[in-house]
Amino acid sequence: MARAGDEEKAFLANYKPKDYPRPSVAVDLVVFTIVDAQLRVLLVKRKEHPFKNAWALPGGFVRVGETADAQGEDLDAAAQRELHEETGLSPDRVFLEQLYTFGKSGRDPRMRVISVAYIALVRPDLAPIVRAGGDAADVQWFVVDGLKKADLAFDHRDVVQLALERIRGKLDYSNLAFDLVPLTFTIPELRTVFAIVLDKVQDPGNFRRRFNRMLEDGLIEKAPGKRITTSKPATVYRYKRG
Amino acid sequence: MARAGDEEKAFLANYKPKDYPRPSVAVDLVVFTIVDAQLRVLLVKRKEHPFKNAWALPGGFVRVGETADAQGEDLDAAAQRELHEETGLSPDRVFLEQLYTFGKSGRDPRMRVISVAYIALVRPDLAPIVRAGGDAADVQWFVVDGLKKADLAFDHRDVVQLALERIRGKLDYSNLAFDLVPLTFTIPELRTVFAIVLDKVQDPGNFRRRFNRMLEDGLIEKAPGKRITTSKPATVYRYKRG
DNA sequence: TAAATAGTGTCTATGAGACATTATGTA
DNA sequence: TACATAATGTCTCATAGACACTATTTA
């Protein structure tokens, strides 16, 4: 990095941004969870035009500063802030990752809006507290499968679709599945997560083999606790973060 | 999609965007090619502050319209336009894909700039014509490996690094390699591309096996032509697009 | 004919998929 | 004890990696 010389300092001090039109930049969140053995996405009901009363992804505009010294919040920070505002969840308990930036002209009828989409994964045990703050009628976990017909605002259907493809693609080679189970879980429970996300039943034996490799790699460890079942209870495990 | 009712039409007609500060949105291109058996990235020399005389990724601001009806160019269109402006290459001959959006506060000292980075892959036979238009001293293909010490403007070193990881990750399961060889190529030539990008020698026998599978799948076909060599010349192939 | 590179074949290890079998806790 | 589900084991097939070997063209 070249450090700013005197000439550059003078330049910056006198710099006035030209008055070209700028777009608004928003952050939209595709928040997934699994409840009742179904993959769900969090949607909020719009109270204003455009798309009034339609369901939309939670999100909002990035807060931008006026001056060169105070330029406003980071993009990731904006996503974390929105996540907290809309769900009440603190970002350190939630998987959050940038997905893609949607910037087609005309995607918002009011004005030019470029939207940076993020994927968030909320553990099932945290999902119930999401609606605790607001009006339950305005924030809901929608089953992703049933979403095709639903009236989503803007291009949010495309956003959800891309997010779905992303988590499906990453499930096998990442640790993403552990953000879709409670803190402790059994092998069959984790297997169910894979089955739900991939929409394909997972062979118990083969899945256990993969699971055991993760155990050997130290990615997972046994945890205390039991599940209340009507037959043989499964061993409970815990994901070792870091 | 809900169609706009009369009420919504009225709303949009009267809508005035609030005067919150907005960021500038730029498109930056990580343009790769392979020349002289080395992976290279296209950099341009900055003529103005900040980072005057430092090397930077080609790019520019997205052109945004003033009104709701004319919102300006699509994000992808902006990337294509920049590619054409900076390289003279028409976008239909070049692989172009969105990479990631960089939005840290302070990454441009002048003002808030959010930059949507794209990856472009230029075939080696097209690489030489890139500098034909401008001043050769101001546009150059830099060897990616030697870039660590180089003085890159802004956070462009991070951008290049992420782009590199992306193409390395996608090389094996995508058709991306065919955008880094000439229109016709031999098996050893394609193998070299893999070796260069992954920085790892590829076993001739094993690579050929993979290649033959692509042949069987109809992804590739034999092409006329020969290479001028000092020993046995290899068969020439062509990638079947679509 | 020698040199150089293209091209082929083989052995092994690993992991996925399909599926049969055994073990164990609960009602 | 019967049932349900956890947990284990086995067979096959596809593919990657390592490496030895043969074929062909040019100088």
Q: Model confidence over A200-228: pLDDT tens digits? A: 999 999 999 999 999 999 999 999 988 88
In a domain, A14, yes or no: no
Query: Are residues B147 and B41 located together in one domain of the fold?
Result: yes
Q: What is the mean pLDDT of residues B56-64?
A: 97
Contact across the interface for B105 and A65, Cβ inside 8 Å: yes
Q: What is the mean pLDDT of residues B190-200?
A: 98
CA distance A192 to B146: 47
Chain A hits for B66, Cβ within 8 Å: 21
pLDDT over threshold 50, residue A35: yes
- Nearest CA of chain A to the CA of B155: how many Å? 9
Tell me the residue range of the domain where B29 lies: 22-180
Task: Please give the tally of structural domains in chain B.
Answer: 2
Task: Provide the 3-class DSSP secondary structure of residue B85.
Answer: helix
Q: Which residue of A has its CA nearest to B11?
A: A49
Query: Are residues A123 and A236 located together in one domain of the fold?
Result: no
B230 CA – C2 C1', rounded, Å: 13
B207 CA – C10 C1', rounded, Å: 16
Q: In a mutagenesis test of the A interface, which of B8, B53, B64 is the best target, namely the one with the most A β-carbons within 10 Å?
A: B64
Query: Are residues A115 and A225 located together in one domain of the fold?
Result: no
Q: Which nucleotides of C are covered by protein (CB under 7 A)?
A: 3-10, 15-20, 23-27
Query: Closest nucleotide (CA of B211 to C1')?
Result: C7
B185 CA – D10 C1', rounded, Å: 45
Q: What is the mean pLDDT of residues B45-69?
A: 94
Least confident of A132-136, B113-117, B118-122, B187-191: A132-136
Query: Are residues B74 and B116 located together in one domain of the fold?
Result: yes
pLDDT over threshold 70, residue A176: yes
CA distance A145 to B60: 40
Q: Mean pLDDT of all residues in chain B? A: 93
CA distances from A159 to A103, B3, B115 (A): 12, 20, 20
pLDDT over threshold 70, residue A55: yes
Q: What is the mean pLDDT of residues B114-141?
A: 88
Query: Are residues A79 and A151 located together in one domain of the fold?
Result: yes
Query: Are residues B119 and B222 located together in one domain of the fold?
Result: no
Comparison of pLDDT for B137 and A184, the residue scoring more:
A184
Last residue of a domain, one of B180, B204, B230: B180
Kindly report, residue by residue over A66-104, the tens digit of the pLDDT: 999 999 999 999 999 999 999 999 999 899 999 999 999
In a domain, A3, yes or no: no
In a domain, B225, yes or no: yes
Query: Are residues B173 and B195 located together in one domain of the fold?
Result: no
Q: What is the DSSP letter of A64?
A: B
Query: Are residues A120 and A239 located together in one domain of the fold?
Result: no
Last residue of a domain, one of A126, A155, A180: A180
What's residue B135's pLDDT?
67
In a domain, A207, yes or no: yes
Query: Are residues A69 and A53 located together in one domain of the fold?
Result: yes
Comparing C-alpha atoms, which of A193, A233, A230 is closest to residue A210?
A: A193
Comparing C-alpha atoms, which of A84, A31, A20 is closest to residue A56?
A: A31
In a domain, A11, yes or no: no
State which residues between 151 and 210 of chain B bring their CB within 7 Å of strand D.
203-206, 209-210
The closest CB to that of A75, out of B64, B101, B109, belongs to B101
In a domain, A16, yes or no: no
Q: What is the mean pLDDT of residues A119-133?
A: 89
CA distance A80 to A90: 8
Comparing C-alpha atoms, which of B43, B37, B44 is closest to residue B142?
A: B43
Alpha helices, DSSP H only, in chain A?
Answer: 6-14, 75-87, 156-171, 187-198, 204-216
The closest CB to that of A50, out of B12, B21, B102, belongs to B12
Kindly report, residue by residue over A131-173, the tens digit of the pLDDT: 766 666 799 999 999 887 667 999 999 999 999 999 999 999 9
Contact across the interface for A72 and B151, Cβ inside 8 Å: no
Residue A239 sits in a domain whose CATH number is: 1.10.10.10
Query: Closest nucleotide (CA of B189 to C1')?
Result: C6
Query: Are residues B91 and B44 located together in one domain of the fold?
Result: yes
CA distance A75 to A59: 12
- Determine phi and psi for A54, rounding to 5 degrees: -85, 160
pTM: 0.95
- Nearest CA of chain B to the CA of A61: how many Å? 9
Query: Are residues A168 and A192 located together in one domain of the fold?
Result: no
Q: Mean pLDDT of all residues in chain A? A: 93
Contact across the interface for B71 and A106, Cβ inside 8 Å: yes
